[in-house]
Amino acid sequence: MKNLLSIEEVSNEEIYAILKRAAAFEAGEPTQLEQDYLVANLFFEPSTRTKTSFETAERKVGATVIPFEAGFSSTLKGETLYDTVKTLEMIGMDAVVIRHKDDAYYKELLEGINVSVINAGDGAGQHPSQCLLDLFTIFKEFGKFEGLNVTIVGDVSHSRVAKSNASALQRLGANVHFVCPKEWQGDYSEARHDWDELLHTSDVVMLLRVQHERDAAYDGFTTEGYHAQFGLTKEREQQMKDGAIIMHPAPVNRGVEIDSDLVECDRSRIFEQVRNGVFVRMAIVETILKGRN
């Protein structure tokens, strides 16, 4: 793998290899990187969680992280993303991790750029490292994907997570269901607008964040109204089947997508996902940097 741009480009074999390596890191295995690599994190959209996770993973596999403040960068002076990334390549970066508000921003980087690009989220497009950490969380829990029932709840039409996860999970053999308000179903014509009957059969309930900042259409809902119709209330949680788990990419809007008291309940893997994210990103960064030799 030279780059990690979208989960569609990662084969099932490569996915399992990353999950295996993440498990090895969790078990305490050391990095296999022997030389010094330089990495920079270009977050043109704020994201503490993902950025901090990458920053930590990069250091844990032994890379040197060069700080980059996107908010003060030359893109403010009208520089193209290509020129910014090419500049970082010439400065000596081996890989750059990029979050950007434009869908598929990385297309302008495919030609002429030699530094490896890891996509940490593009517009309403992909978020492959989040997808891989979600897969890792599910695989650790169930030891397989085949036949699992995964229900994704929320604004599927605007969600990077929904798009990445649904395509990967289906490819790996899981059954994926969608529950959302009718206004937010987008291309997901199979989405249901009432999730209660799925509660009893789902192995995984994957809640999506209500992203107030992204979608003016959210204005149609009060947070209480959303919580009542689509949120994971205590009543709903009690109807979930034995062994079923709750996931959420975070940050959580407590009392909207999920009752605040459930965030750390027995079924919840919400903070466990954060922990898993570091191991998965260690595996991603190590795999890509090793591939540069």
Which residues lie below 8 Å from residue 242, measured CB to CB, with a gap of 6+? none
Tell me: is residue 49 an annotated ligand-binding position. Answer: yes
CB of 219 to a second copy, least distance (A): 16
Quick one: which of 132, 169, 97 has its CA closest to 276? Answer: 132
Which of 11, 103, 112, 225 forms a contact with a second copy (CB under 8 A)? 112
251 binds a second copy (CB under 8 A): yes
Contact 144, 160 (CB under 8 A): no
**Separation CA 157–CA 200 (nearest Å):** 25
64 binds a second copy (CB under 8 A): yes
Q: Tokens 């599927």, residue? A: 156
30 binds a second copy (CB under 8 A): no
8 binds a second copy (CB under 8 A): no
Q: SS3 for 99?
A: strand
Backbone phi, then psi, for 263, in 5-degree steps?
Answer: -60, -35
31 binds a second copy (CB under 8 A): no
**Separation CA 120–CA 129 (nearest Å):** 7
215 binds a second copy (CB under 8 A): no
Contact 98, 118 (CB under 8 A): yes
Judged by beta carbon, residue 68 or residue 145, the one nearer a second copy is: 68
83 binds a second copy (CB under 8 A): yes
24 binds a second copy (CB under 8 A): no
Question: Would you list which residues are annotated within the binding site for L-aspartate?
Answer: 77, 160, 209
* Residue ranges binding a second copy (CB under 8 A): 38, 40, 43, 46-49, 51-53, 55-56, 59-60, 64, 66-69, 71-74, 76-80, 83-84, 86-88, 90-92, 112, 212-213, 250-254, 263-264, 271-272, 274-275, 277-278
